[in-house]
């Protein structure tokens, strides 16, 4: 069995002078980096005093699920000779806060829209979405439902 490792760095950049001396004393700003790639500006969700202009972990999780599904789907379409000429997704993740102050995702719904060179292959493309879902590394790692509702 092959193993793959992924290394990134996450550096907090939100010390406004007094560190975490109080809940309101610091920013949630941070940078996510990996060798050879531009940094990603991160923060927490604005509901948790984050900066809406920066990516939050919840958005990145939903984006990761969408990316993984898309990449598998495109791969399977190429192998099966189903020509995709455009693809976009507007995924939606639902997270709930728990009474203890934590939270968890209830589900993520992927809503991919693909344009096919041959509209007659929509049925086969739908089957390939199902197969992509089965193969997605990220979706297979989640403890909540990840559904997909494709359109062609």
Indicate the number of domains in the chain: 2
Number of C-beta neighbours around residue 143 at 10 A: 6
Instruction: List pLDDT tens digits, range 66-104.
Output: 999 999 999 999 999 999 999 999 999 999 999 998 999
pLDDT score for 96: 97
Specify the 3-state DSSP secondary structure of 54.
Answer: coil
Same domain, 82 and 136: yes
Same domain, 97 and 44: no
Same domain, 103 and 29: no
Instruction: List pLDDT tens digits, range 34-74.
Output: 999 999 999 999 999 999 999 999 999 999 999 999 999 99
Same domain, 38 and 66: no
Cβ proximity of 108 and 65 under 8 Å: yes
Mean pLDDT of 111-116: 98
What is the rounded average pLDDT for all residues in the chain? 97
Same domain, 137 and 91: yes
**pTM assigned to the model:** 0.92
Residues 80, 124, 64, 2, Cα dihedral to 10°: -40
Token representation of residue 8: 């990134």
Say if 2 falls within a structural domain. Answer: no
pLDDT score for 26: 96
Query: Residue 117 and residue 58: Cα distance in Å, rounded?
Result: 34
User: Which range of residues forms the domain containing residue 115?
Assistant: 57-148
């Amino acid at each position: 069995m092959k193993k793959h490792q992924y290394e990134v760095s996450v550096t907090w950049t939100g010390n406004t002078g007094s560190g975490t001396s109080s809940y309101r004393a610091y920013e949630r700003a941070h940078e996510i980096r990996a060798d050879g790639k531009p940094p990603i500006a991160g923060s927490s969700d604005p509901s948790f005093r984050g900066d809406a202009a920066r990516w939050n972990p919840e958005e990145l999780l939903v984006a990761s699920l969408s990316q993984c599904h898309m990449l598998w789907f495109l791969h399977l379409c190429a192998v099966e000779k189903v020509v995709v000429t455009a693809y976009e997704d507007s995924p939606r993740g639902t997270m709930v806060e728990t009474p203890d102050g934590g939270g968890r995702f209830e589900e993520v719904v992927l809503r991919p829209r693909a344009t096919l060179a041959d509209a007659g292959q929509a049925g086969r493309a739908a089957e390939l979405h199902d197969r992509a879902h089965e193969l997605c590394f990220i979706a297979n790692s989640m403890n909540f439902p990840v559904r997909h509702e494709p359109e062609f």
